[in-house]
Amino acid sequence: MKITQLPFNRFIGLETSPVESGMLISLPEGSQYTNHLGSVHASALLAVAEAASGAFLLQHLGDAGDYVPVVRRLEAKFRKPALGRVSARGVATAVEIAQWNDDLATRGRLLAPVPVEVVDTAGVVVLTAVVEWFIARRDGDESARS
């Protein structure tokens, strides 16, 4: 699955960031993404954060073919006005990622809170968020529901 090819993400113009940037998802600069103050609209920033959290999970857990991932909660703090292109990265630790993999393997489901940072063109962190995903085994296995 390519996060940028989901219908909504394609509609708003999300892009995959270059690997060497350390970012996962970007939204290009454009007046269509701005608010009444000329900075990037809060909804656009949240869309970038949510998409980056999904890309982060795919990067660390693999393709979700056997699982159904859905966002359960999103908590965000807007830190500064964002100007220009915005990009996001996941910031979970190796220990957290190992626990997610273990939970999926043993329980067939998990709650994965993915910390995300969104930065603007100047590299300023403009939003921090935690996107909590519920992921469950796709098959009808009852152990994944208990």
pLDDT of res. 64: 60
Q: By mean pLDDT, which of 5-9, 47-51, 102-106 is the weakest? A: 102-106
Answer yes or no: is pLDDT of 143 > 80: no
116 touches 130 (CB < 8 A): yes
pLDDT of res. 140: 53
Q: Using alpha carbons only, what angle is made at residue 31 by residues 77 and 28, rounded to the nearest 5 degrees?
A: 70
Domain at 3-144, CATH class: alpha beta
Q: Looking at residues 44-60, what average pLDDT do you find?
A: 95
Confidence of residue 45 (pLDDT cuts 50, 70, 90): very high
DSSP state of 65: T
> 14 or 21, which is more confident?
14
pLDDT of res. 137: 84
Please, which residues bridge with residue 117 across strands? Answer: 89, 128
Helices (H), the chain: 7-12, 42-61, 94-107
Listed by start position, the domains of the chain span: 3-144
pLDDT of res. 32: 97
pLDDT in tens, 106-135: 998 999 999 999 999 999 999 999 999 999
Answer yes or no: is pLDDT of 1 > 90: no
Confidence of residue 61 (pLDDT cuts 50, 70, 90): confident
| Intra-chain end-to-end CA distance of the chain, in Å | 27
Q: What is the mean pLDDT of the chain?
A: 91
